[in-house]
Chain A
Amino acid sequence: MEVLVEFFPLLLKGATVTIQLTVVSAVIALVISFVVGLARLSRYRVVRVLSVIYLEFFRGTSALVQMFFMFYVLPLFGLTLAPFAAGFLACGMNLGSYGSEVVRGAIKSVGKPQREAALSLNYTTFQLYRHVLIPQAIPMMIPPFGNLLIELMKLTAVASLITISDLTFAAQIVRAQTGLTLEPFLLILVVYFLIASVLVGAVDLLAWRIKTKRKLNVRTGN
């Protein structure tokens, strides 16, 4: 226990890095989800094909391989990424591919009458997506996005393998320097669980707020 007190600053810093990595890659993943997901619905074949290639590439290979590729192979082509950058790019681009399927699925599940109504109101495609399809699709995206967010947070642990000093890396340092195993690993498992639980709670709260807000709108509308 005393040892863990001694290593507390290191573990705390590790937890901070894990949270930073999660937040930055979540933003990237969210942007990619929408860009690639909407590109899948494009009327242009080239755009659709490109987005399928992106999807199959990042969903078809392992996240660890993508991370190593960015960290060890890209420098050979003159593109050197800092470990942190390689970490959040790999996490974000990997989860973005899964997220794009969520966006596509949710938008496609908005009923056809909604599209027809927008068409009859002479909406442009941009207006159709901006004012009709996306607002109705977002509540459907929240629960699957919540699951992906947990997957993303767990994926950041893999970044410790490309020398990012996150929580897992900190635990490995404690193990290497003290020979302790149970204490550091059990501790970080609990910390990961707590971080994930906060994220689950936040997503549930968001889903609940959207639900109550929408209900309110219906009532005032009537």
Chain B
Amino acid sequence: MDWSWIVVADVLPRLLAGLVVTVQATFAGAAVAYALGLMLAILRRSPSRLVSLTTYWLSEFVRRTPLLVQLYFLFYVLPDLGVYLSPFVAGVIGLGVHFSTYTAEVFRAGIEHVPKGQWEAARSLNYSPTQTWINVILPQSIPPMIPPLANYLVTMFKETPLLAAITVVELFNAANIYSNSTYKYLEPMTLVGLLFLIVTIPTVWATMYLERRYARH
């Protein structure tokens, strides 16, 4: 099997267009995952056992089931219930909801690692809950959260090929469509792998830098 540069030239523009969709899905999914994850973390801290336990088991259910099946669920089941989502939106919601259960743990750990004395100090200075969160808790809990949150961004990027299963034409699907119509598998699949590495390796280095920068001492 010989490597053909003609195929490369033919397929590369399609792959780059797919890469744009992949990056969009990653960032949109991450936005959902961060916002929903923070909400889940706060709900888990609720004084009501009913709220915190419900949040816990719902999160565990999402976390212990495959993202692919969740995507199928959003894509096939919701229309039958009268909710119509475009494949891209269904994919972003699926990615976001799945990874919100992971980011929630990051937020929870970050908040819990602020020493109890800090809460007590804020209280003794007569800070309101809002002031306590904004001036005391968040400034201390956010920096250590940055590296793991960035890591999940990379993880989500690598999970986006699953969106191909619900017909989103992202990087992997662009290659797959091309391969299925031309029977050329070597170049498209190899290029997809290379493009993934080209994006993830520098990003992983960047997160390692963030880890050193924000490491807890």
Contacts and interface: CB of A to CB of B under 8 A. Distances in A.
Contacts, number: 109
B35 interface: no
A73 B190 contact: yes
Contacts of A63: 158
For A62, A155, A175, A181, the residue with the greatest tally of chain B CB atoms inside 10 Å of its CB is A62
Contacts of B69: 157, 168, 171, 185, 188-189, 192
A73 B68 contact: no
B64 A200 contact: yes
Range of interface residues on B (Cβ < 8 Å) = 35 or more
A161 B158 CA distance: 16
A181 B72 CA distance: 9
Given A72-B179, A73-B190, A181-B76, A65 B196 contact: yes
B80 A182 contact: yes
B65 to A, nearest CB: 4
Contacts of A56: 197, 201, 204
B73 A189 contact: yes
B64 A61 contact: no
A62 B72 contact: no
Interface residues of A, number: 39
Contacts of B92: none
Given A76-B186, A161-B165, A62 B68 contact: no
B64 A158 contact: no
For B63, B68, B159, B190, the residue with the greatest tally of chain A CB atoms inside 10 Å of its CB is B68
Given A63-B158, A182-B77, A185-B77, A73 B185 contact: yes
Interface in A132-173: 150, 154-158, 160-161, 168, 171-172
A156 to B, nearest CB: 8
Given A185-B72, A189-B70, A62 B172 contact: yes
A192 B66 contact: yes
Interface in B145-166: 158-162, 164-165
A57 interface: yes
A61 B185 contact: no
Nearest to A161: B165
B190 A192 contact: no
Contact of A186 (B66, B73, B197): B73
Given A62-B172, A65-B172, A157-B66, A168 B196 contact: no
A188 B77 CA distance: 13
A64 B200 CA distance: 15
Given A60-B200, A60-B201, A73-B190, A150 B64 contact: yes
Interface of B: 1, 60-61, 63-70, 72-73, 76-77, 80-81, 158-162, 164-165, 172, 176, 179, 185-186, 189-190, 192-193, 196-197, 200-201, 204
11 contacts: A62-B158, A62-B196, A68-B189, A150-B63, A154-B66, A154-B67, A161-B165, A168-B72, A181-B80, A185-B73, A189-B70
Closest A-B pairs by Cβ, 4 of them:
A196-B64, A157-B66, A76-B1, A154-B66
